[in-house]
A and B are shown apart, each in its own frame.
Chain A
Amino acid sequence: MSIWIGNETRLVVQGITGREGSFHARQMIEYGTNVVAGVTPGKGGQQFENKVPVFNTVAESVAQAGANCSVIYVPPAMAAGAIMEAADAGIELVICITEGVPVLDMTTVMPYLADRKVRLIGPNCPGMITPGEAKVGIIPGSICLPGPVGLVSRSGTLTYEVVHHLTGAGFGQSTCVGIGGDPIVGTNFIDCLAAFNDDPKTEAIVMIGEIGGTAEQEAAEFIKANVKKPVVGFVAGQTAPPGRRMGHAGAIISGSSGTAEEKFQAFESAGIGIMRRPVDVVELLKGKLK
Chain B
Amino acid sequence: MNLHEYQARDLLKVAGIPMFDGDVASTPTEAEAIARRLGGTVVVKAQVHVGGRGKAGGVKLARNPAEALECASQILGMTIKGLVVNKVLVVPAADIATESYVGLILDRATQLPVFMVSDAGGVDIEEVAAKTPEKITKIAVDPRYGLMPHQALTLALALYRDWAHVKAATKIMMQLYQVFMNNGASLAEINPLVTTPDGKVLALDAKIIIDDNELDRRPDLAVLRDESGEEPSEVQARRANLTFIKLDGNVGCVVNGAGLAMATMDLVKYYGGEPANFLDIGGSSNPEKVVNALKIITADPNVKVILFNIFGGITRTDDVANGIVAATKQFEVKVPIVIRLTGTNEAEAFKILEGVGMVAMNDMDAAVSKAVGLTKEVA
Interface residues, chain A, with chain B CB atoms under 8 Å away: 76-77, 99-104, 106-108, 110-111, 126, 138-140, 143, 153-161, 164, 181, 183-184, 208, 210-211, 213-215, 234, 236-241, 244-251, 254-256, 260, 276-279
With A104-B184, A104-B211, A213-B108 known as contacts, the answer to whether A164 contacts B259 (CB < 8 A) is: no
Decide yes or no whether B245 CB sits under 8 A from chain A: yes
Is there an interface contact between A138 and B106, defined as CB atoms closer than 8 Å? no
Is there an interface contact between B243 and A247, defined as CB atoms closer than 8 Å? yes
A155–B259 alpha-carbon span in the complex (Å): 5
Residues of A within 8 A of B270 (CB): 276-277
**Closest residue of chain B to A105, judged by CB?**
B213
Residues of A within 8 A of B111 (CB): 106-107, 110, 184
- Shortest C-beta distance, A226 to chain B (Å), equals 19
Residues of A within 8 A of B313 (CB): 126, 138-140, 156-157, 160
- Shortest C-beta distance, A48 to chain B (Å), equals 19
Q: What class of interface size applies to chain B in its complex with A?
A: 35 or more
A39–B266 alpha-carbon span in the complex (Å): 41
Is there an interface contact between B343 and A140, defined as CB atoms closer than 8 Å? yes
If over half of B's interface residues share one DSSP class (helix, strand or loop), that class is named, otherwise mixed; here it is mixed
Is there an interface contact between A240 and B217, defined as CB atoms closer than 8 Å? no
Is there an interface contact between B213 and A240, defined as CB atoms closer than 8 Å? no
With A184-B108, A276-B270 known as contacts, the answer to whether A156 contacts B126 (CB < 8 A) is: no
Interface flags, B249-284, vs A, CB<8A=1, else 0: 000000111111111011111100001001010010
- Shortest C-beta distance, B288 to chain A (Å), equals 17
With A110-B111, A246-B262 known as contacts, the answer to whether A239 contacts B245 (CB < 8 A) is: no
A279–B366 alpha-carbon span in the complex (Å): 11
- Shortest C-beta distance, A253 to chain B (Å), equals 11
A131–B261 alpha-carbon span in the complex (Å): 26
Is there an interface contact between A239 and B259, defined as CB atoms closer than 8 Å? no
Which of A126, A160, A247, A250 is B343 in contact with, Cβ under 8 Å? A160
With A101-B213, A183-B108 known as contacts, the answer to whether A234 contacts B311 (CB < 8 A) is: no
Residues of A within 8 A of B255 (CB): 157
A160–B283 alpha-carbon span in the complex (Å): 13
**Closest residue of chain B to A251, judged by CB?**
B258
If over half of A's interface residues share one DSSP class (helix, strand or loop), that class is named, otherwise mixed; here it is loop
Which of A100, A106, A159, A247 is B280 in contact with, Cβ under 8 Å? A247
Residues of A within 8 A of B143 (CB): 104, 107-108, 111
Which of B112, B213, B364 is A279 in contact with, Cβ under 8 Å? B364
**Additional A-B contact list (18), CB under 8 Å, known A138-B313, A157-B260, A234-B263:** A102-B213, A107-B111, A111-B142, A111-B143, A154-B259, A156-B313, A157-B313, A183-B106, A214-B109, A236-B266, A238-B262, A244-B278, A245-B212, A246-B261, A247-B243, A247-B262, A249-B212, A251-B258
Residues of B within 8 A of A277 (CB): 266-267, 270, 365
Decide yes or no whether B227 CB sits under 8 A from chain A: no
Residues of B within 8 A of A210 (CB): 258-259, 262
With A107-B106, A246-B258 known as contacts, the answer to whether A240 contacts B311 (CB < 8 A) is: no
Decide yes or no whether B247 CB sits under 8 A from chain A: yes
Which of B109, B257, B315 is A158 in contact with, Cβ under 8 Å? B257
